Amino acid sequence: MATHLNQNKDPKGADGGGTAHTNYTGQRLGNDHGNIKFGHIHKDAGTTSGVLLETTDSLHHITLDKAGERKGHTISLSPGDTVIKAGEKNTASQTTIQIEAVNGNIVLVASNGKIRMQADDIEMIANGGDGNNGNISLTAVENIFTDSKKFLVTAKNFYKIVTPGYGEIVANSGMTIYASLIRGVTDACAIKDSKVGGQAIQKANNTV
């Protein structure tokens, strides 16, 4: 049976500026297992939910907020696992699950765990091409590991591998290095340049 949920929260509102929401047409349909609420005002008194689906555990709900600080937000909260499974009747070439942010960022956070991506193939594409966008960045406070049969890198204009510490290149079977011009420079020319130059390169790679 539906019941009315006339609500008038703290008049100071969520921000203390008198923006508290009121609702005299709210309804609740539920029992000792769960509820569906229409027009529910959240505890912060600054957001109204158009539809709120919840269990008796307040940490387990889905809300479609319609007014206030989170207007237009859809929030799903679960104290346990969240599983999305689809595509049993699709083919391998079809797009089965699509998540699109028309404007803004997509953020995946595992605060106390790992993020794993597993598939037959994984593609990462950065389409921006204005000179400022179109980048893929990897940052790790410790190590970045790669393990594969082949490691192929193609840079159309320039590539550079830099470390302020020690570097190694190892090929147990053999190594081919080709360039139109190959030049090796050491710190031996730091004080006095060599006959063929090289000091400019040494200084450029030892700037603070």
Q: pLDDT by residue (tens digit) across 90-107?
A: 999 999 999 999 999 999
Q: Is residue 24 part of a domain?
A: yes
Q: Is residue 25 part of a domain?
A: yes
Q: Is residue 103 part of a domain?
A: no
Number of domains the chain is built from: 1
Task: Give the strand pairing for 34-41 and 47-55.
Answer: antiparallel
* DSSP three-state, residue 95: coil
C-alpha gyration radius of the chain: 29
Q: Is residue 194 part of a domain?
A: no
Q: Which residues are paired to 76 by β-bridges?
A: 62
Q: Is residue 181 part of a domain?
A: no
Q: Is residue 66 part of a domain?
A: yes
Residue pair 87/100 in contact (Cβ under 8 Å)? The answer is no
**Looking at this protein, which amino acid is placed at residue 138?**
L
In this predicted structure, what is the pLDDT of residue 1?
41
Q: What does the pLDDT look like over 131-165, one tens digit per residue?
A: 789 999 999 999 999 999 999 999 999 999 999 89
Q: Is residue 42 part of a domain?
A: yes
Q: What is the mean pLDDT of residues 115-119?
A: 96
Domain assignment of residue 73, given as a range? 2-77
CA dist., res. 92 & res. 168, Å (int):
42
Q: Is residue 105 part of a domain?
A: no
pLDDT-derived band of residue 13, with 50, 70 and 90 as boundaries? Answer: very low
CA dist., res. 27 & res. 24, Å (int):
9
| Residue 147 phi, psi dihedral angles, 5° rounding | -140, 110
